[in-house]
Structure 1
Amino acid sequence: MFFCEISVCSVFPWAEQNITPLLPNTKLHYSFPSNVFINQPEGTTIPLRRITRRKSTEQPVQTSPSAPSSASAAPPVDDESSDEIPAFAYGRFTFDYAVNFAGLSLAVEQSRGMYHYHRAIGKAVREATISSSAGARMIIHPVEPLYVPDPVTDFLEIKFSEIMIEPNGKTVIFLTFPIEIGVFIESKGETDVIDVFTFKPPKYSMYGSSHRGVITKWHKSQVHAYPPQVKNYEEGVLRLTIQNTTDEWVYVSRVIIYEKGMFIHYDDSVVSMAAEMTILNRESADVAGVDRPLRPEMSRSIRLYKPRKMSAFSNVSGSLVDTVFTMDLGLI
């Protein structure tokens, strides 16, 4: 048995909660309500829901060494539903643009020579007053999914069904990842973010232990042979290339991506990201983000990433080299 004593209140001043002792092979997640956003007022108490990890009863999926390998041609779509999925509009807009979509209300109004930004989703509200010239623009882009309710981690963890990778084999799979949406103001060639929100309540987990590990933004995905159809305001599509450099079969059921390697692209219907996993042995792999769109002519999102010191929730000395994160604490 090991004890993981990490104070959440050191990062979230409005929450008093500790991670309690865990049993071996038990994973702890924290789920935050959808009304928790970066503009949450101080002193607000938000209950945390504890979700314990249960051993999966799903059977491992054996992969074929052949898979889509080129981003120059759009891969087929994994058509799981014939129903048309509504799409959210990303891009650059004038201040008279307004959004009323899937419970989201967003608009900029002019009054007394100033612009007033207002965004509401559920009970969460964000307001800001902007002093800018008439030529200013509003940019709405998908951003790295690490900023709601606060930027407390640099790592995204995606959990999926176990896959068997053959010796010296290579395959490409498609996963989903959570989306956060950034609102930027652009004027006179300069851009700054004024809001970040999400349609999906965030969840967090720990990869490793309190002695050596990282807090991660946690997401569960199915495994797809082709890009799945998704709601482009809730989930994006991750193209993950897995290379097994060993002479034995290796099981994989998770990937962790460092924010510096997150390059997000979008078009009218899908948001995408790409990463490469190089398996070093049964227990470790290097994961690198790749600046590669899922389809031709996709646009790249504005990045929020800025180098910063690791928080008290991170203890991964030696595991980061540029955009590469070494997963040396297990692949399943």
Structure 2
Amino acid sequence: MFSKYSPPFKIETENVTISVEKENGNLVYKRVLNGDATEKILLHNDSEFLINPIEPVNIPKKISSFLLIDLKRPVMIAPNDKQKVHLKFPVEIGVFVSRKEGEYKPIDVLTLSSSKFTLYGNPSHGMICKYWESDVYSSYPHPDILYEGNIELDIVNDTNRWIEVTKAVFNAYGMKIYYGSDRISMRAVMKIISKSLAETDFLTYPVTPGLSRSMELFTSRKIRLNGTKSIMEFGL
């Protein structure tokens, strides 16, 4: 599914169908997901389409730019240690259109994964996050890429005590997503500053050679970034 397309084309997989047809000198974009249909007319007939994974914080609607991954089993990391783990994250799919190479406009966002939000912190000073639950893996977990991707996370404990980690919070503005025919991945770092404070950020190179860099939705909208890191100040 994740690739560039020239119209007309039709993609059918799982519970989603995406197609672009030519009609009276224009293009008609159609998407059917679990019986729910979306249709748009593009007043142009010479366009290229790109379908790729995007930052997973847009569905059911844009509420927050933060993703919280709740660990099914907490992990313990030793003092002044660094360890690598793998987590799963929900996949959202962006459909982009372009008349010129590299100048893409988002026209649709969809997901096959469930979507819910949660509060990280207290009601008065906390923040709303997209919520996902994941096991912790020592190596690449081979998820179904229509539903889940993989975060390769380096956990760095800069304290002189054992630290328990139960969750990870990430800022979508910093996400760098890479994909291939059988993999969707990001690389991130969690730097533990104290028993209740950590900082997360993303790395800008893929976990393995040969992957393509996603057109991120926030980048395509030319949003001015105020920072890409996430400060976990309400506990680990």
TM range (shorter): over 0.9
Question: Which position in structure 2 is the counterpart of 1:242?
Answer: 155
Question: Which position in structure 1 is the counterpart of 2:176?
Answer: 263
- How far apart are the structure 1 equivalents of 2:181 and 2:131? 26
Question: Which position in structure 2 is the counterpart of 1:328?
Answer: 233
- How far apart are the structure 1 equivalents of 2:168 and 2:6? 39
Alpha-carbon distance, 1:289 to partner: 1.6
Describe how 1:5-84 pairs up with structure 2 within 5 A: none
Gaps in structure 1 of 5+ consecutive residues: 1-88, 310-320
Q: Secondary structure at the match of 1:98?
A: strand
- How far apart are the structure 1 equivalents of 2:195 and 2:115? 30
- How far apart are the structure 1 equivalents of 2:28 and 2:182? 29
Question: Which position in structure 2 is the counterpart of 1:226?
Answer: 139
- How far apart are the structure 1 equivalents of 2:230 and 2:177? 18
Alpha-carbon distance, 1:121 to partner: 0.8
Question: Which position in structure 2 is the counterpart of 1:186?
Answer: 98
- How far apart are the structure 2 equivalents of 1:90 and 1:178? 15
> Structure 1 vs Structure 2: percent identity of aligned residues?
31
Q: Secondary structure at the match of 2:217?
A: coil
- How far apart are the structure 2 equivalents of 1:148 and 1:194? 14
Q: What one-letter code is carried by the residue in structure 2 that aligns with 1:180?
A: E
Deviations 1:133-174 (A, max 9, x none): 43x111101000111121110100001111110000100000
The count of corresponding residues between Structure 1 and Structure 2 is 231
Describe how 1:1-332 pairs up with structure 2 within 5 A: 89-134=1-46, 136-160=47-71, 161-189=73-101, 190-305=103-218, 306-307=222-223, 322-331=227-236
For the structure 1 residues 258 and 251, does the alpha-carbon distance in structure 2 shift closer, same or farther, using more than 3 Å as the test?
Answer: same
Q: Give TM-score, length-normalised by structure 2.
A: 0.94
> Is the contact made by 1:277 and 1:287 (CA closer than 8 Å) also made in structure 2?
yes
Q: What one-letter code is carried by the residue in structure 2 that aligns with 1:181?
A: I
Q: Secondary structure at the match of 2:19?
A: strand
Q: Secondary structure at the match of 1:260?
A: helix
- How far apart are the structure 2 equivalents of 1:138 and 1:249? 49
Q: Give TM-score, length-normalised by structure 1.
A: 0.68
- Higher mean displacement: 200-209 or 171-180: 200-209
Alpha-carbon distance, 1:199 to partner: 0.3
Alpha-carbon distance, 1:308 to partner: 7.1
> Is the contact made by 1:133 and 1:187 (CA closer than 8 Å) also made in structure 2?
no
Q: What one-letter code is carried by the residue in structure 1 that aligns with 2:42?
A: I
Aligned Cα root-mean-square deviation (Å): 1.4
> Is the contact made by 2:187 and 2:204 (CA closer than 8 Å) also made in structure 1?
yes
Question: Which position in structure 2 is the counterpart of 1:315?
Answer: none
